[in-house]
Amino acid sequence: MFRPLATALTIALSLTGGVALAQQGPLRIEITEGVIEPLPFAAPAFIAENGAAQQYAADITRVIAADLSGTGLFREIPANAHISRVSSFDAPIAYNDWKAINAQALITGAVSASGNQIVVKFRLFDIFSGQPLGEGLQFAGTPDTWRRMAHKVADAAYSRITGETGYFDSRVVYVQESGPKDARQKRVAVMDYDGANTQYLTDSSSLVLAPRFSPNGSQILFTSYASGFPRIYLMNMQNMQVRALDEQPGTMTFAPRFAPDGRTVVFSLEQGGNSDIYTLDTQSGQRRQLTNSPSIETAPSFSPDGSQIVFESDRSGTSQIYVMSAGGGEARRISAGEGRYNTPVWSPRGDMIAFTKQHAGRFHIGVMRTNGSEERLLTASFLDEGPTWAPNGRVLMFTREGAGASGQASLYSVDISGRNLKQVPTNGPASDPAWSPLLP
């Protein structure tokens, strides 16, 4: 389930948001309309408290700094510019030395490793007010979870400075592609949000499309041609068991997504050339038709409170975005601009809808309010499609594909302010990303 957001944040977050530093008072990045310089921080190498911890300490520090810098909201001051040396986790902080190099935040930490456990401790300091920002925190886990612990430290620092939930300790399920465009092979893969720890969940014997996480991250939905025809499947991430969800012969099922209840799936079912939206209770198998129209209805996505569904339909002649009640019934069109609108996805905060827009031969990722107002396009390229929200609703990841035979698909991310557009590293061509919730 998505966490409620602090009220202060909701106020601070603006659709046209940039970043402003509060120069007075406590250390804080406010998401406001002004766009200014990233906040400079120092993250001296975490102290290795024993020999076995040395490599982990170095690696964890590197991942924390990469997480924060990767947001575009922070800028790391390189270690060779540091004046002060942190010799032990409990040593007093030389605030003036950090102030002298213009660090505004300082992250210190220590790592110990023994047996099958590593322990990471960290503290965050507000240099200009000369005091710690929040309590020290400690994470413990098996050595193979060292990256997750680093992400959790970075999430805590991000959260304390921005006032928002973090998103670094999260995963992304996507489609790994290989082969030329006219004989492309696809497999479902999952990785950390930053591209590390890739695992493949299916082989490439069947074409697979658009995997999606369940609200608690324990299951994924995807579309596969394993039967020869597109059908939706459900995979249990613990034991990798897969089952077909809806096997009505003569139909195609696709575009599945979970409802926030983690039990209901909304998807498209095509019969006789016509696609409509249905829900399926994955426990009882009960199916319910929500739209009944001769036009294309697809790409449904629930609001985080489960009360509404946003979807695309070409009932007006071209594909546009509509919102209806979770039980179906009358739908209202919310997209109003020129062009074709597809793949609407409700923000985990509930306040915005991300979409793909096709206009004048270009594709865009954009966001709008849930009533269709304040539309903003964040990207433009030959082919951008299929946005997915970071768990905190601040960042979108999507598929970008180039033209022609050499234009392979890859994953990109962009801040909802439109800043910080960058490619997400993957093992080869990749498409159809879907972000997990923040891991527990």
Task: Answer yes or no whether residue 360 interacts with another protein by CB under 8 A.
Answer: no
Q: Which of positions 88-127 make contact with another protein (CB under 8 A)?
A: none
Q: How many amino acids of this chain bind another protein (CB under 8 A)?
A: 61
For the chain, the three-class secondary structure string (H helix, E strand, C coil) is CCCCCCHHHHHHCCCCCCCEECCCCCCCEECCCCCCCCEEEECCCCEECCHHHHHHHHHHHHHHHHHHHHCCCEEECCHHHCCCCCCCCCCCCCHHHHHHCCCCEEEEEEEEEECCEEEEEEEEEECCCCEECCCCEEEEECHHHHHHHHHHHHHHHHHHHHCCCCCCCCEEEEEEEECCHHHCEEEEEEEECCCCCCEECCCCCCCEEEEEECCCCCEEEEEECCCCCCEEEEEECCCCCEEECCCCCCEEEEEEEECCCCCEEEEEEEECCEEEEEEEECCCCCEEECCCCCCCEEEEEECCCCCEEEEEECCCCCCEEEEEECCEEEEEECCCCCCEEEEEEECCCCCEEEEEEEECCEEEEEEEECCCCCCEECCCECCEEEEEECCCCCEEEEEEECCCCCCCEEEEEEECCCCCCEEECCCCCEEEEEECCCCC
Q: Which stretch binds another protein (CB under 8 A): 20-28, 78-86, 163-171, 244-252?
A: 244-252
Task: Answer yes or no whether residue 433 interacts with another protein by CB under 8 A.
Answer: no
Task: Answer yes or no whether residue 78 interacts with another protein by CB under 8 A.
Answer: no
The amino acid sitting at 80 is N
Among 382, 422, 423, 427, binds another protein (CB under 8 A): 382
Q: Which stretch binds another protein (CB under 8 A): 63-71, 157-165, 222-230, 414-422?
A: 222-230
Backbone phi, psi, residue 79, to 5°: -60, -35
Considering beta carbons, is residue 38 or 230 the nearer one to another protein?
Answer: 230
Task: Answer yes or no whether residue 337 interacts with another protein by CB under 8 A.
Answer: no
Among 40, 109, 230, 418, binds another protein (CB under 8 A): 230
Considering beta carbons, is residue 242 or 439 the nearer one to another protein?
Answer: 242
Task: Answer yes or no whether residue 76 interacts with another protein by CB under 8 A.
Answer: no
- How, if at all, do strands 117-126 and 131-132 pair? antiparallel
CB of 68 to another protein, least distance (A): 33
- Alpha-carbon distance of 422 to 379, in angstroms, equals 11
Considering beta carbons, is residue 104 or 224 the nearer one to another protein?
Answer: 224
Among 224, 301, 410, 426, binds another protein (CB under 8 A): 224
Task: Answer yes or no whether residue 246 interacts with another protein by CB under 8 A.
Answer: no
Considering beta carbons, is residue 300 or 393 the nearer one to another protein?
Answer: 300
Task: Answer yes or no whether residue 359 interacts with another protein by CB under 8 A.
Answer: no
Considering beta carbons, is residue 89 or 225 the nearer one to another protein?
Answer: 225
Considering beta carbons, is residue 74 or 322 the nearer one to another protein?
Answer: 322
CB of 173 to another protein, least distance (A): 15
Q: Which of positions 172-211 make contact with another protein (CB under 8 A)?
A: 179-186, 202-207, 209-210
Q: Which of positions 262-321 make contact with another protein (CB under 8 A)?
A: 268, 270, 272-275, 296, 298-299, 312, 314, 318-319
Considering beta carbons, is residue 161 or 296 the nearer one to another protein?
Answer: 296
CB of 322 to another protein, least distance (A): 14
- How, if at all, do strands 171-178 and 131-132 pair? unpaired
The CA distances from residue 136 to 53, 60, 103, 154, 419, in Å, are 19, 17, 19, 13, 31
Q: Which stretch binds another protein (CB under 8 A): 11-19, 20-28, 345-353, 379-387?
A: 379-387
Q: Which stretch binds another protein (CB under 8 A): 100-108, 122-130, 146-154, 336-344?
A: 336-344
Binding site for another protein (CB under 8 A): 179-186, 202-207, 209-210, 224-230, 233, 242-244, 247, 249-250, 252, 254-255, 268, 270, 272-275, 296, 298-299, 312, 314, 318-319, 340, 342-343, 356, 358, 382-383, 385-386, 401, 403-405, 407, 432
